[in-house]
Structures are given as C-alpha cells and as structure tokens.
Amino acid sequence: MHRDLKPENLMLKSKKKMYSVKIIDFGLGTFVNVKEFLFKRCGTPGFVAPEVILHGKTKKYGSKADIFSAGVIFYILLKGSSPFPSNDFRKVLKMNKACRIDFSGFKDFSPATVSLLK
C-alpha cells in the first residue's frame, strides 16, 4: 500500500492520454502482510485515513487506507476544496481524524456520484 496518496503523488503518463495516471513516491509504501510497519503513522494530513492516524489505538490498518485517500482526491476534484478545510496543520489533522465530512455541497451531483464518493 502507498500510504501517502495525494494530488502531488499522481502524474499523467502522457499529455495526450489524460486518463493514464501513474502513482509516484512510494517512500512510505509497504506491503500489507508485514508483521509490523516500519512507519506506523504516516501520510499527509487531510488525505490520510483515520485508522492510520489512530494506529496503535485501533487494530492494524490495511490497503483500504489508500481507498480513503483516493476518496479525498475525488472529493477535491468534484468540489474544488478539501473535505477538511483549514490552514492550521493541527486543525486539519483533528478534522481528518474525526472524519466528519459535509456532503451537503453535492446536490448538483447524481446520487451515484455521491454514493461512489462516500
């Protein structure tokens, strides 16, 4: 698993193929089946899954942590803003950990789009 998915770690393979995305920077990446993670709590606040932040207080996390990060990226692509809006690092981390996301601004999107996002 990557554990630090964010827009800065996504690149387009080609200008001609806008759908061809490559994931880069596997510096925090690890295999899911290792006995113990080298870096337990890692990632970028605002993109990291709550279970990664809470690691040690909850059970071990897995590859679904990357799905959460992909969902945050999808949210930003749809709405143009973060689900955890703040310029304060600690506040972003606190909101990210609590994971209370406001979906009220998605009324113009189809129910299927909102369902996929959730």
State the catalytic residue, choosing from 4, 25, 66, 88: 4
Contacts of 32 (CB under 8 A, 6+ apart): 1, 62, 63
25 classed as catalytic: no
Which tokens belong to 115?
């369902």
Helices (H) and strands (E) in the chain, counts: 4, 2
The CA distance from 98 to 81, in Å, is: 18
Q: Which residues are catalytic?
A: 4
